[in-house]
Structure 1
């Protein structure tokens, strides 16, 4: 198989979502670079064929029905380090300044929409989510600066979908790319502590259920205490009405009289 046939086969495999460059090529890295270059050239040619008036860029206010521009992850990385990004978002995260309009109390937001972009690549609403509204925000495991904005620094968990107001499609993509970044070493994370029962490995080790070095403490009986609350009579109008049985009503106040008749 010559080099031209290898390039064409690698390009077809990449379009299908597979990467079998290591099976037939001694230099899979060079092959991936060639295939990625051909893909970028194809996307550039496709963008040139699209009418500029049909693109829903960031400069367009109402983008419903327009095509969402597609950019590479490297372009998104350069955008996050640019002055335009700092002027737009400042020191805030991309989702902090976004506010949703919905019925009901603010502390009980409903679920976000399924997606902001149709399968054909066109906007389905004029008010997309924080990720879909900015064409240069590309969710990728190599775009670490964007993914870290959706991670809670204290716990390492992903921000809830209703809090960051991202559509469900983009939120699922964020969760997947964060896990891929952790697997590939782009994002550091703490390994959960695992407690081992060494008694299953060493017979002389004390069991984890009951440590032999700690003695059981005696249980003390609780002292009986009198209730500090005083019981007062309660007035029940249904039980003791003023008009019925006045002699049995403890809350009935007799009128003051000087002398008995």
Structure 2
């Protein structure tokens, strides 16, 4: 049985079968890593991240003790995945859980202190001044020169008054 398996390129190991492939150009044997699927269907590699390794670790926004391990206590910034060794899938879940926990008030969010000087937001400097009224309003003229020359048609005015007579105030 083992001889027939060796002919097709499968060597029996203690852990799992390893496929051997022959490189024709250099006549060397390359070891192909075999992808083993777990019961959930996720790929298992040789060095899983700390969260994927343990099925009991659940990334949730209420699990504050877990989330605090991935946040810098001095700056409040989430550690980079290269520093924590977490895969990108779990890093995205961590970022989402940390933002949700901060929104709910479970984690402290450190905001930078910005000192607003009143000089920047006051209206006492020369660039900000009250706008003067236009000359036409101060002299008693109409805002638009054509506005005073409009005369409504008497028949049209009578028709509109007849339509809206229930809603118009009576002339005193």
TM-score (norm 1): 0.32
Structure with a larger share of its residues in strand: 2
Higher helix share: 1
